[in-house]
């Protein structure tokens, strides 16, 4: 089974895609052919399956899942991009870092500001992806356009593609670095978990958060005002953990889900294998937090 992410990382300039100018080398790196690449990048054809999933906290999430061959090539590209070393403040998508690690970096703080990028993937346009490959990776224009068409659907990053998480970070790396710099300059801690921003410290100034929001707006994105949270002098809910007061704890909801899984497993009948898998998953998730 092929690894989804490389064991070691390197500087962006050491990527095999950096300053790439040869279409022949591109298809070689992606383990495909030029003919297949042309077909997979052809936006006039249907390349995705579509459906809608319910979010845990309400609302719908539209899913665009690439067909098998497109997914295979996208997965290879994602593997290459995951080879680029990301900053320490990024916890997803990074191999070896989890939502628990994200919570741990804030556990000794007393003030928190939690922000969320609204409709992050749909807002990450094909033009932005072209710009990343052209200006940051310094690929030739035809290479940049070909790669953007390969990973985008209907003009933006699709939810359900293996390349979307890493590209969503890389395409906005300048913005994330600026946000991190604003937080550090104010004596705060910043971490990023996908599209969730956590800023913490002994105190958080409104002027600091306004600077951070301006960076987001400057790049054509928006903060989801419904999910913005300010917490003082008590633990905060940070990416599936309760962090603060020197500890990282399991949320009450996860305690209840674990108890429910145990009770269901103890009840006779039903699909024992399925119930066992649910219980093991809940237990592993709880242990990850409790051992932090």
Higher-pLDDT residue of 6 and 13 is 13
Q: How many CB atoms lie within 10 A of CB 88?
A: 11
Strand 90-92 to strand 189-193: parallel, antiparallel, or no bridges (unpaired)? parallel
The answer to whether the CB of 211 falls within 8 A of the CB of 182 is yes
Q: Which of 152, 190, 199, 150 is nearest to 39 (CA)?
A: 150
Instruction: For residues 263 and 255, give the distance between their C-alpha atoms in angstroms, rounded to a whole number.
Output: 12
- The structure's pTM equals 0.87
Per-residue pLDDT at 15: 98
Question: In DSSP terms, which residues pair with 62 in a beta bridge?
Answer: 52
Q: How far is CA 21 from the centre of its chain?
A: 28
Strand 247-249 to strand 241-244: parallel, antiparallel, or no bridges (unpaired)? antiparallel
Confidence band (pLDDT; 50, 70, 90) for 281?
Answer: low
Q: What is the mean pLDDT of residues 267-274?
A: 77
Residue with tokens 């042309």: 38
- pLDDT, the chain, mean: 90
Q: What are phi and psi of 138, to 5 degrees?
A: 60, 35
């Amino acid at each position: 089974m092929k690894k989804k992410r490389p064991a070691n990382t390197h500087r962006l300039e050491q990527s095999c895609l950096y300053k790439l100018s040869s279409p022949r080398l591109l298809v070689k790196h992606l383990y495909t052919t030029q003919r297949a690449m042309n077909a997979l990048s052809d936006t006039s054809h249907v390349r995705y399956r579509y459906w809608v999933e319910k979010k845990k906290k309400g609302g719908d999430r539209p899913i665009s899942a690439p067909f098998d061959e497109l997914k295979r090539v996208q997965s290879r590209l994602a593997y290459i991009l995951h080879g680029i070393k990301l900053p320490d403040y990024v916890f997803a998508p990074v191999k070896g870092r989890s939502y628990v690690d994200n919570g741990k970096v804030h556990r000794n703080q007393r003030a928190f500001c939690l922000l969320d990028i609204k409709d992050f993937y749909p807002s990450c346009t094909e033009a932005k992806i072209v710009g990343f490959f052209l200006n940051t990776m310094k690929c030739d224009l035809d290479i940049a356009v070909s790669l953007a068409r390969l990973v985008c659907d209907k003009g933006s990053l699709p939810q359900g593609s293996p390349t979307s998480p890493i590209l969503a970070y890389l395409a906005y790396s300048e913005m994330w670095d600026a946000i991190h710099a604003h937080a550090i300059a104010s004596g705060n801690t910043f971490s990023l978990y996908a599209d969730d921003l956590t800023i913490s410290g002994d105190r958080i100034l409104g002027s600091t958060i306004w600077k951070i929001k301006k960076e987001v707006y400057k790049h054509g994105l928006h903060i989801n005002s419904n999910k913005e949270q300010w917490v003082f002098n008590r633990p905060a809910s940070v990416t599936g953990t309760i962090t603060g007061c020197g500890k990282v704890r399991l949320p009450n909801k996860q305690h209840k889900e674990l108890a429910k899984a145990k009770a269901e497993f103890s009840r006779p009948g039903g699909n024992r294998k399925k119930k066992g898998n649910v219980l093991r998953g809940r237990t592993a998730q709880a242990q990850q937090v409790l051992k932090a």
